[in-house]
Amino acid sequence: MFYLLLTEDSAYPGADYDNQNFPIFELETLSGKKIVNNSIRDQAFLLNVWASWCITCRVEHPYLMYLKSQGMPILGLNYKDEKEDAINWLNKFGNPYTDNIHDYKGSLALDLGVTGAPETFLIINGQVVAHYQGEVNEIVWNEVFLPIIDEKEIF
Amino acid sequence: MKFLYSLSLILFVSISLFSEPIYNFQNAEDELRFNTLVKEIRCPKCTSGSLASSNAPISQDLKLKIVEMINENKSDEEIKDYVSTRFGVDSLYEPALKKDTYFLWFAPFILLLITLLVFFLRKTE
């Protein structure tokens, strides 16, 4: 019984943030455009936290490219990264993102409960409905994100 | 001599003149609150270290956020709530007393009661 109590939910860390409102923010995109809460309201999308210094993001990258090819909208949250490094990284490896929020100081990330990169959120109409810490791959996608997507009947 | 004097001035005075305190508080009470809070909150990156003990970038960010919230006159409860909704309920060292933690809080007493009961019942037999 203690084993069950101790291990319950721990396979998917970050689950406590379910159904919270998306934090209020005002930042710029990597291309220098202003981006605020209203810019991303009334939409369903994935939010992927990444950085050019993050090695696991490089590992995760091909799967994000695959998701993009399946028509999944992915908004990038470029975390504590130099703008130039981030843009070079995208040019070199390919860009799976619809747009990128440049969170140089990590303020929005902290408000979201990000502990590092990569982390992925599922946002529906300004609400966080899922939060996964670590690399998203086929297994994680099928076990964590797909059930919620099917349940909410989005995409 | 004059050179030595000015050199020592530069060396010793400048350090204290230009070193700002890491965290700025409105009063000493707030600073005390901060020092208590960072010992009661776990570092999100390190499994068993407090915020106070941690130098991880995420802990530094979180400490700055706590300072900001203290200066906005947020209560300890609000601050702990902010941390636990984002980094999980186990980020607080002392779990809150609520429905799903009743077992955690009261199990030891219930077990003690059962043990005593069994002990005395067997004695009377």
Per-residue pLDDT, B110? 94
Q: Which residue, A49, A32, A69, A66, is CA-closest to A110?
A: A49
User: What residues make up the domain containing B100?
Assistant: 96-125
CATH (domain of B39): 1.10.8.640
- Which residues on chain A are in Cβ contact (under 8 Å) with B62? 110
Q: Which tens digits make up the pLDDT trace of A24-68?
A: 999 999 999 999 988 888 789 999 999 999 999 999 999 999 999
- For residues B67 and B100, membership in a common domain is answered with no
- For residues B28 and B79, membership in a common domain is answered with yes
pLDDT band at A11 (very low <50, low <70, confident <90, very high): very low
In chain B, the number of structural domains is 2
Chain B closest CA to A97's CA: distance in Å? 25
Reply yes or no on whether the pLDDT at A92 is more than 70. Answer: yes
- For residues B38 and B79, membership in a common domain is answered with yes
Per-residue pLDDT, A69? 95
Per-residue pLDDT, A42? 76
Q: Which 8-state DSSP code applies to residue B110?
A: H
Per-residue pLDDT, B91? 86
- For residues B31 and B44, membership in a common domain is answered with yes
Per-residue pLDDT, A12? 44
> What is the rounded average pLDDT of the residues B41-52?
86
- Which residues on chain A are in Cβ contact (under 8 Å) with B45? 115-116
- Is any Cβ of chain B less than 8 angstroms from the Cβ of A28? no
Chain B closest CA to A112's CA: distance in Å? 6
- For residues B104 and B87, membership in a common domain is answered with no
Per-residue pLDDT, A10? 42
Q: Which tens digits make up the pLDDT trace of A98-139?
A: 999 999 999 999 999 898 889 999 998 888 888 888 999 999
Chain A closest CA to B31's CA: distance in Å? 22
- For residues B53 and B111, membership in a common domain is answered with no
Question: What is the pLDDT of chain B when averaged over all its residues?
Answer: 86
pTM: 0.77
Which range among A77-86, B12-21, B40-49, B98-107 shows the weakest confidence by mean pLDDT? B12-21
- For residues B79 and B116, membership in a common domain is answered with no
What ipTM is given for this predicted complex? 0.77
- For residues B46 and B79, membership in a common domain is answered with yes
Reply yes or no on whether the pLDDT at B94 is more than 60. Answer: yes
Contact B85 A113 (CB under 8 A): yes
- Which residues on chain B are in Cβ contact (under 8 Å) with A106? 57, 61
Domains of chain A in start order, with CATH, are 13-152 (3.40.30.10)
- For residues B38 and B90, membership in a common domain is answered with yes
Contact B84 A16 (CB under 8 A): yes
Is residue B60 a part of any domain in this protein?
yes
- For residues B70 and B107, membership in a common domain is answered with no
Reply yes or no on whether the pLDDT at B11 is more than 80. Answer: no
User: In the numeric block, which tokens belong to residue B112?
Assistant: 């003690």
